[in-house]
Amino acid sequence: MKFSVIIIMIILLSTQCTFASSPPKPNNCPSADILKAVGVNTVVYDGYNWYAGIKSNHYATNQEWSFLIEPINAVNKDDAKYKAINILNALTFQKGPELSKQNEKYSWVCLYKDNLGHSAGTITPTINFTNKNDMIAPL
């Protein structure tokens, strides 16, 4: 009995430490309609894939968010932007906000998809998504 109480206390303590080091949870995610209205303003190539998004926008929420469509199969920057706009216009909200930990930093993530399986996400606090180590993935 004493052992199980200790285990429960350790689990509760570790959960509290995780959430204590994370930024405050947003009340809601940016809507897919607001993402569509804002659009994309950045297209980057990491040497393997094209990505499109926006570094920072409020999207009618209280937080600053980064938005990223990943990856886009394109032959050049113009093709990537054209495809990104088509993907963006077909996005629907999937889930979030969910806690994410990347490179020892906690963030909140919202996920979106289109009907062809392309993925996109918003993340707060904002990220430098030109760095391929900054990925959008919930815990």
pLDDT in tens, 43-55: 999 888 999 999 9
The answer to the question of residue 91 being in a domain is: yes
The answer to the question of residue 130 being in a domain is: no
Domain count, the chain: 1
pLDDT digits (tens, 9 = 90+) for 25-41: 999 999 999 999 999 99
Model-level pTM? 0.78
Q: Which residues contact 41 (CB under 8 A, 6 or more apart)?
A: 54
**Torsions phi, psi for 82 (to 5 deg):** -60, -45
pLDDT-based confidence at 42, cuts 50/70/90? very high
The whole-number pLDDT of residue 104 equals 86
Tokens 């886009």, residue located: 72
| Pair 43, 77: CB distance under 8 Å | yes
The domain of 33 spans 23-124
The answer to the question of residue 6 being in a domain is: no
- Half-sphere exposure at residue 135, Cβ-oriented, CA atoms within 13 angstroms: 10
The answer to the question of residue 80 being in a domain is: yes
d(CA 79, CA 130): 18
The answer to the question of residue 34 being in a domain is: yes
The answer to the question of residue 106 being in a domain is: yes
d(CA 41, CA 60): 18
- The DSSP code for 113 is E
> Please, what is the average pLDDT of the chain?
83
Element (H, E) at 72: strand 65-72
